[in-house]
Amino acid sequence: MSEISSPPTDTALSMIQRIRVVETAQVWRWLRLGWQDYRRSGWIGPVYGAVFAAAGLFIVFGLAWLGWPYLITPMIGGFLLIAPLLALGFYALSSRIERGEPPRWTHLHLAWRTNTFHIMTAGLVLMLVVMIWARLSIVLFALFFPYQSMSVESFVAQSATLAGISFTLFMLGLGAAVAALVFVTTVVALPLMLDVKTDIFSAALVSTLVVVRNPRPMALWAVVIVLVTGAGLLPAFLGLTVALPVIGHASWHAYRDLVKEI
């Protein structure tokens, strides 16, 4: 039998009524608490964080080896789009630390079992977004470079041209829009689904209303996530061993501040 107990059931209406309005300064508190939880997790956080770094390297070298370099940036973006789901274990660890219980590896990779069906549904939705994003990237590459082959040499040659720069800027803008949509609908959704046995649609609604009621703190939190994650990408993805666990832990504390407990 799993040691993880099932969360209580709650209605969407009661959850919406528990949304808090917070100050912008709370964002730095979330980050500080996330760092503290990362340190308290011992070897668990760095090891699980290393999985993210390895996945990033696999994406880059795998796509380059296959001759699809134009998909590297979109797929890294897609990888980060499903980060809220991959960080589920960090939410569970922070929840245990919050209760004064020792963090354990089993609670990291079994966290999804607290609300299996709805968390799996959320995962499928996020994977669908990534698949659409990847397919859209291929279509846009063909539109911007209609007479170019999809090879490494062709991609490098075109990257400095006007079409190449336009393609990059367009993809960055479109990627930012998709990331913003995912952020708004998931910023507290998955921690909520872990804590309370609710469905993805109710959780996404609560998450959206959290952003609507806290526009400035949520805007700052989004910027912090981008900067910390971006810094983690720079040294050959090795920084993700720290960046993503810290953001994952901090996201749990953001949820705790933004949604009142039962």
pLDDT, one tens digit per residue, over 124-150 is: 888 888 888 878 877 887 777 776 665
Whether pTM > 0.95 for this model: the answer is no
Task: Read off the pLDDT band of 107 (50, 70, 90).
Answer: low
What pLDDT is recorded for position 194? 86
Q: Which residues contact 40 (CB under 8 A, 6 or more apart)?
A: 97, 103
Most trustworthy range by pLDDT among 72-86, 162-176, 222-236: 222-236
Q: What does pLDDT average to over the chain? A: 80
Q: Quote the tokens at residue 81.
A: 């789009």
Other CB atoms within 10 A of residue 244 CB: 27
- Residues 200-213 have a mean pLDDT of 92
In terms of average pLDDT, the best of 8-12, 160-164, 203-207 is: 203-207
- The confidence score (pLDDT) of residue 13 equals 64
| Rounded-to-5 percentages of helix, strand, coil across the chain | 75, 0, 20
* Local structure of residue 198 (DSSP, 8 states): -
3-state SS string for 229-243: HHHHHCCCCCCHHHH
Evaluate if residue 91 carries a pLDDT over 50: yes
Distance between CA atoms of residues 80 and 69, nearest Å? 18
Residues 26-52 pLDDT 10s? 999 999 999 999 998 888 888 888 887
Q: What does the alpha-carbon distance between residue 185 and residue 187 come to, in Å, rounded to a whole number? A: 6
Helix (H, G, I), strand (E, B) or coil at 103: coil
Q: Are 69 and 228 in contact (CB under 8 A)?
A: no
